[in-house]
């Protein structure tokens, strides 16, 4: 049929570079088990790693991985996954490794190469795959960090583009695979009543929160190389800004969605140092692997605007960090107050309408609105109309890595970042990396440094944790 969408070809093999690493152990093998249990895998899985392991030791590690994830390695899905495993041992810079891989893939027409390895090795691996004629019909999944700054992100994109087409490259951001993030897209573009109110005339503020009560948990050496701004703001939270602020795409295909996200990012001027407060929790410098004079941020508060017709003048704020009072990931849209207070004699405190999209610890959508308490006097009270996603709609959907692995195998690119999008995200925060203000200390269990108050809304606690009476659907 003319104009019909082309259905991507399904991959017939998955190749895991870094099969003995932590990411494969904690995330990828459990995700593959769940894909198998849903009937969405059914292809060989080839593990590649430099350690001197055997197929038997790799399969034992998979069994341990599944047990630690609360899964049964001896159920039908576990046995099928382990039976599908192949193993290639060797250095990523050794041509023989890729000779052996090519032999294993001799009957494969469309492999997915998952590079769960340091980004510094991406170029070597892709070059070797191309040299062995393995890239003409393949997909390559790359994990973050997708660069450390704008210059390195451009260089990484150039490295990948040397041997691969853009449609072959799947840049993974597991945050986009969360069911709740997908639900935000549906809430925005599947409900007519929201769209007329989703602009500067009716919205007074948009806030994004991603706080964690735990610290770096023994990963200080790693965290020293990233910090909060690089770890979650540049990727996860700017993506969430895009989803909240983008115009409706012409369709739900990958390029249409990324085109609208690009418009949002291009409307954000590069952030200046006075638009961020960087923090570091007391005790971080005592963590193993952390420099005694470290200036790495474990906390960021930002305030900026999107200079578009839809959002001009509306402040967007972000708070993210570790070692804080609570673990919460949430986006809040606060609406403007009514133009007049029609109840001058009313008792109670008036609060604006707010719409919350909570991802942790609850998966809910919540709308706060004013009602009158029963009785002779006009006493206003705020109630929350809430829908808990998993409670109302049944079992949770696939986990993030399960969804993204399944999409890569199926050739669905909607949840993967495009090259220009990654570079634009780095452009937005580039001045903050080049000339960062010093970190401000804060106590563990607090909500961050006191200096962040100049950027964040004064009613932030009311925006995020409402004591109001829920009216749950």
Containing domain of residue 47, as a range? 13-143
Between 346 and 199, whose confidence is greater?
199
Sole residue written with tokens 């140092």? 273
Query: How far is it, in rounded angstroms, from Cα 329 to Cα 222?
Result: 22
**CATH number of the domain where residue 115 is located:** 3.40.50.720
pLDDT of residue 466: 54
Residues 189 and 99 in one domain: no
Residues 64 and 185 in one domain: no
Residue 473 pLDDT more than 60? Answer: no
* Percent of the chain whose predicted confidence (pLDDT) is above 70: 94
Residue 344 belongs to a domain: yes
Residues 265 and 353 in one domain: yes
* Predicted confidence (pLDDT) per residue in 81-112, tens digit: 999 999 999 889 899 999 999 999 999 999 99
Residues 112 and 219 in one domain: no
The last residue of a domain, from among 127, 143, 159: 143
pLDDT of residue 406: 94
Residue 4 belongs to a domain: no
pLDDT of residue 83: 96
pLDDT of residue 380: 76
Residue 1 pLDDT more than 50? Answer: no
Catalytic residues: 236
* Predicted confidence (pLDDT) per residue in 229-242, tens digit: 999 999 999 999 99
pLDDT of residue 46: 97
Residues 199 and 111 in one domain: no
- Rounded alpha-carbon distances, angstroms, from residue 345 to 260, 341, 352, 463: 46, 10, 18, 25
pLDDT of residue 44: 96
Residue 31 belongs to a domain: yes
Residues 135 and 233 in one domain: no
pLDDT of residue 216: 93
Asked if 407 contacts 415 with a C-beta cutoff of 8 angstroms, the reply is yes
* Predicted confidence (pLDDT) per residue in 117-155, tens digit: 988 899 999 999 999 999 999 999 998 889 999 999 999
pLDDT of residue 100: 95
**CATH number of the domain where residue 215 is located:** 3.30.360.10
Residue 171 belongs to a domain: no
Query: How far is it, in rounded angstroms, from Cα 245 to Cα 267?
Result: 10
Model's pTM, two decimal places? 0.90
Residues 255 and 110 in one domain: no
Residues 423 and 297 in one domain: yes
Give the mean model confidence (pLDDT) for residues 452-464: 89
pLDDT band at residue 397, thresholds of 50, 70 and 90? Answer: low
Going by DSSP bridges, is the β-strand pair 364-372/354-360 parallel, antiparallel, or unpaired? Answer: antiparallel
The last residue of a domain, from among 119, 143, 167: 143
Residue 164 belongs to a domain: no
Query: How far is it, in rounded angstroms, from Cα 93 to Cα 190?
Result: 49
Residues 199 and 343 in one domain: yes
Residue 165 belongs to a domain: no
* Minimum mean pLDDT range among 68-77, 212-221, 342-351: 342-351
Structure tokens at 169: 């490259």
């Amino acid at each position: 049929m003319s104009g019909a969408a082309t259905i991507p070809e399904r991959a017939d093999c998955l190749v895991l570079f870094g099969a003995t690493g932590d990411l494969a152990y904690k995330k990828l093998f459990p995700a593959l088990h769940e894909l198998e249990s849903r009937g969405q895998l059914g292809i060989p899985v080839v593990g590649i790693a430099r350690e001197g392991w055997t197929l038997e030791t790799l399969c034992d590690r998979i069994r341990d991985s599944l047990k630690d994830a609360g899964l049964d390695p001896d159920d039908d899905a576990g046995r099928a996954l382990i039976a599908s495993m192949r193993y290639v041992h060797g250095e990523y810079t050794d041509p023989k490794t890729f000779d052996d891989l090519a032999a294993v893939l001799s009957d494969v027409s469309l492999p997915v190469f998952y590079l769960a390895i340091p980004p510094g090795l991406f170029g070597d691996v892709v070059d070797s795959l191309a040299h062995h004629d393995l890239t003409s019909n393949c997909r390559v999944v790359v994990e973050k960090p997708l660069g450390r700054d704008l210059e390195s992100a451009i260089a990484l994109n150039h490295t990948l583009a040397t041997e691969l087409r853009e449609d072959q490259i799947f840049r993974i951001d597991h945050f986009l695979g969360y069911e709740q993030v997908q639900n935000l897209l549906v809430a925005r573009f599947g409900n007519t009543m929201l769209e007329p109110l989703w602009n500067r005339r009716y919205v007074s503020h948009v806030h994004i929160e991603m706080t964690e009560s735990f610290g770096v948990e023994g990963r200080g050496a790693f965290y020293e190389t990233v910090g909060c701004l690089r770890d979650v703001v540049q990727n996860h939270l700017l993506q969430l800004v895009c989803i909240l602020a983008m115009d409706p795409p012409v369709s739900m295909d990958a390029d249409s969605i990324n085109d609208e996200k690009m418009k949002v990012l291009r409307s954000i001027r590069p952030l200046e140092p006075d638009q961020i407060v960087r923090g570091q929790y007391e005790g971080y410098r005592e963590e193993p692997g952390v420099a005694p004079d470290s200036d790495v941020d474990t906390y960021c508060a930002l305030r900026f605007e999107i200079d578009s017709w839809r959002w001009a003048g509306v402040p967007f704020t972000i708070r993210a960090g570790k070692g804080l009072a609570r673990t919460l990931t949430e986006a809040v849209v606060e609406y403007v107050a009514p133009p007049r207070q029609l109840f001058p004699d009313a008792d109670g405190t008036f609060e604006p309408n707010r719409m919350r999209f909570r991802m942790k610890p609850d998966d809910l959508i919540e709308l706060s609105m004013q009602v009158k308490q029963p009785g002779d006097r006009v006493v206003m009270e705020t109630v929350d109309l809430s829908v808990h996603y998993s409670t109302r709609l049944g079992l949770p959907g696939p986990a993030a890595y399960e969804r993204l692995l399944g999409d890569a195998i199926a050739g669905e690119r909607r949840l993967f970042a495009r090259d220009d999008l990654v570079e634009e995200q780095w452009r937005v925060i580039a001045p903050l990396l080049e000339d960062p203000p010093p970190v401000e200390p804060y106590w563990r269990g607090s909500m961050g440094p006191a200096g962040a108050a100049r950027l964040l809304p004064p009613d932030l606690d009311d925006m995020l944790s409402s004591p109001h009476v829920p009216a749950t659907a």
